[in-house]
Amino acid sequence: MAQVECARCGETGDQLAAPPLPTELGNRIYDTICQSCWDQWLQQQTVIINHYGLDLRQPDARQILTQQTEAFLFGPPPE
């Protein structure tokens, strides 16, 4: 599996098998986020969807989730 230097954790880790989203953000994630950090995001994403009761059929909910994705993966590094 290919390796990537992760923008979130700063470590070199396994690259995702493919871009997770068919968007520019998906390509950015694929190029700069390791599998481990992506797996952490998937767990956090479930928490956010359930906590806020997001209906991802709604454009506003998708926009909120996209903003949360960017903040989690590309915001300040985790402590």
The residue range of the domain holding 35 is 3-74
User: In the prediction, which pLDDT does 76 show?
Assistant: 78
pTM of the complete model: 0.90
User: In the prediction, which pLDDT does 77 show?
Assistant: 65
Q: How far is CA 5 from the centre of its chain?
A: 15
| CA pair distance 64, 74, nearest whole angstrom | 15
Residue-wise pLDDT for 26-56, tens only, equals 999 999 999 999 999 999 999 999 999 999 9
Q: Evaluate whether 68 touches 58 at the Cβ level (below 8 Å).
A: no
* Token representation of residue 46: 């479930």
Split into its structural domains, the chain has a count of: 1
Q: What is the CATH number of the domain that holds 31?
A: 1.10.3880.10
In a domain, 35, yes or no: yes
E strand map for the chain: 3-5, 12-14
In a domain, 79, yes or no: no
The amino acid that residue 24 corresponds to is: E
In a domain, 53, yes or no: yes
* Token representation of residue 55: 């209906």
